[in-house]
């Protein structure tokens, strides 16, 4: 079983918003896997997450994670 990572959801949203290649379908790099993977790694570094961390293990602060009661 993987350890769950807690983080501030508002800060995560703000960091993603600063990187339109992740969310803007009209951005030139939106479909470029190399760019989007690198950008996700930048965000992981900001949150001090390991490079092997998977998105499905992340749980914003104040929310229940997978398999947990709310």
> How many domains does the chain fold into?
1
Domain region containing 52: 5-60
Is there a domain that residue 70 lies in? no
65 occurs within a structural domain: no
- Would 68 be classed as within a structural domain? no
Q: What is the mean pLDDT of the chain?
A: 80
Read off the pLDDT of residues 21-31 as tens digits, 9 standing for 90 and up.
999 999 999 99
Would 52 be classed as within a structural domain?
Answer: yes
Please write the tens of the pLDDT for every residue from 52-61: 655 544 455 5
Say which residue the tokens 């490079």 belong to: 51
For residues 12-35, one letter each, b for 16 or more C-beta atoms within 10 angstroms of the residue's C-beta and e for the rest, the string is beebeeebebbeeeeeebeeeeeb
66 occurs within a structural domain: no
């Amino acid at each position: 079983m993987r350890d769950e990572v807690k983080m501030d959801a508002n800060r995560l949203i703000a960091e993603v918003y600063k990187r339109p290649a992740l969310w803007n379908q009209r951005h030139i790099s939106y479909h470029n896997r190399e760019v989007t993977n690198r950008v996700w790694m930048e965000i992981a570094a900001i949150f001090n997450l390991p490079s092997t961390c998977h998105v499905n293990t992340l749980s914003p602060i104040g929310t229940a994670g997978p398999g947990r009661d709310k």
